[in-house]
Amino acid sequence: MRINLTSVLVDDQAAALRFYTEVLGFVKKTEIPMGEHRWLTVVSADDVDGTELVLEPSDHPAVRPFKAALVADGIPYTSFAVDDVHAEHARLAAVGVCFTQPPIDLGPVTAAVFDDTCGNLIQITSPN
């Protein structure tokens, strides 16, 4: 068994696609029209056949309060691995990404948290 898909709930798929590809550096893998929305996935540029991240519309009534509660409590929706959190923090901050937590040493990993502009906090980590 392995993970082939995971999702992040986004307020606007077009804005999310721009942020996740143009800012974070993911690559669009799949785009299938599905009525008002799309089946829209991105993958790591380093592993285009790897796990796909679904940019899932957050229209379900339960999603808005769930996401708001996570953000209010400073809880990241998901976490991405990077080689060097300090370098990635500097790169992203330089292009205007808003960090809610700068890099911090958590023992086995260094982590930072940013706002993905789509209603989520996202954590990045690298091993120490």
pLDDT at 122: 98
Q: Are residues 52 and 26 in the same domain?
A: yes
Helix residue spans in the chain (DSSP H): 13-18, 63-72, 85-94
- Domain span holding position 86: 74-128
pLDDT at 81: 97
Task: Give 59-90 pLDDT, tens digit per residue.
Answer: 999 999 999 999 999 999 999 999 999 999 99
What is the residue-level pLDDT of the chain in tens, covering all 128 positions? 999 999 999 999 999 999 999 999 999 999 999 999 999 999 999 999 999 999 999 999 999 999 999 999 999 999 999 999 999 999 999 999 999 999 999 999 999 999 999 999 999 999 99
Given this model, what pLDDT does residue 20 score?
98
Instruction: Assess whether 96 and 44 both reside in one domain.
Output: no
Asked if residue 103 and residue 53 are part of one domain, the reply reads: no
Cα separation, 37 vs 45, whole angstroms: 24
* 88 and 126 housed in the same domain: yes
Query: How many domains is the chain built from?
Result: 2
Report the CATH number that the domain containing residue 112 is assigned in CATH. Answer: 3.10.180.10
What is the pLDDT at residue 126?
98
| 18 in any annotated domain | yes
Q: What is the pLDDT of residue 4?
A: 96
